[in-house]
Amino acid sequence: MDEWVREKAHRAQASRSASVWVCEDGTGNVCGVFAFDHRRVVPADVTGSAAGGLTEIPALLLARFALRVDLRGAGVGEALMTEVFIAARESLAYVPARVLILDAKNARLAKWYKEKLDFVPTKTDPLKLYMPMKKLLATLDVVGL
C-alpha cells in the first residue's frame, strides 16, 4: 500500500486514470486507500438481474483497495469498504453503473469479499467479483447511511 500511495496514487489522480481516496486515522497517518475507475462488463459475467437486459453493463471498478497491514483483522477493512460503498453511491449522481466490480489479488481475499461483504464471483473468473448497485444501495440503507 505505501509504495502505491507514494509512487502512483498522485499520478493516477492527476492523469485522471483513477479517482483516489486516501483515508487517515485522525492523526494524519494513512490507514487505507481506495481508487475507482469505470469499466463495462458483459452479461455473461453477471446474473441476469444485474445485466438488466443490456449488452454491455456499465460498472464502477474498485481499482485499488488497500489497508495498512497492522490494521488487518480488526474490522477496519469492513469499515473502509463502507466508505467505498458511500463513495460509489455518490458517484452514481454523475456516472451510471449497474455493478461495483473488483479483482481480488488472491483466493483468500476473494473469500473475504464474498463472506464479509457479500460480493459474487463473476461467471468467468473466481477472482473477479461484483455487487449489483441495487444491493450496495440497500446495504447502506440497512445500516442507516
Quote the pLDDT of residue 1: 54
| Main-chain dihedrals φ then ψ at residue 130, nearest 5 degrees | -145, 165
Res. 53 pLDDT band, cuts 50 70 90: confident
Whole-prediction pTM = 0.85
Upper half-sphere CA count for residue 50 (Cβ side, 13 Å): 27
3-state secondary structure of 11: helix
According to DSSP, the residues that pair with 131 across neighbouring strands are 100
According to DSSP, the residues that pair with 38 across neighbouring strands are 60
Res. 112 pLDDT band, cuts 50 70 90: very high
For residue 91, what is the domain's CATH number?
A: 3.40.630.30
At 60-88, the pLDDT tens digits run 999 989 888 888 888 888 989 999 999 99
With cell 453477471, the residue in question is 46
| Domains contained in the chain, number | 1
Neighbours of 48 (CB within 10 A): 8
Structural domain boundaries, residue 74: 2-142
